[in-house]
Amino acid sequence: AQKVTQAQTEISVVEKEDVTLDCVYETRDTTYYLFWYKQPPSGELVFLIRRNSFDEQNEISGRYSWNFQKSTSSFNFTITASQVVDSAVYFCALSASNNAGNMLTFGGGTRLMVKP
């Protein structure tokens, strides 16, 4: 069985602060993929990043960075110098490689509110 836990249900920061969203996962598969999606108030889920289980290299994309640590089964997401437009619900998700159809197991989501 697979499970994704996002312990932070809601985070509130002031603009320009850095913020880290936590994600912890459980799976028995040795090959799997981890994802982050952003869901703004408009409702659409926007794909942010995919990481496979063999690639523990951290990634930075502009103000976004991701820290993948297999030893702690975590895939945390940091936004540097947050902006009001970052306000959204963020979902971490897991897909095992033996899934036909790339089934996603979602975490419960973290609502990020960035105040001006």
Partner 1 sequence: DAMVIQNPRYQVTQFGKPVTLSCSQTLNHNVMYWYQQKSSQAPKLLFHYYDKDFNNEADTPDNFQSRRPNTSFCFLDIRSPGLGDAAMYLCATSSGSKILGEQFFGPGTRLTVL
Report the interface residues with partner 1, using CB under 8 A.
33, 35, 37, 42-47, 50, 91, 95, 97-104, 106-109, 111
Written as one string, the DSSP assignment of the chain is: --EEE---SEEEEETT--EEE--EEE-S-SSEEEEEEEE-TT---EEEEEEETT----EEETTEEEEEEGGGTEEEEEESS--GGG-EEEEEEEEETT-TT---EE---EEEEEE-
Between 15 and 111, name the residue whose CB sits nearer to partner 1: 111
Between 76 and 95, name the residue whose CB sits nearer to partner 1: 95
Beta bridge partners, 54, equal none
> C-beta of 63: minimal distance to partner 1 in Å?
21
> C-beta of 116: minimal distance to partner 1 in Å?
24
Between 90 and 114, name the residue whose CB sits nearer to partner 1: 90
Between 20 and 98, name the residue whose CB sits nearer to partner 1: 98
> C-beta of 13: minimal distance to partner 1 in Å?
19
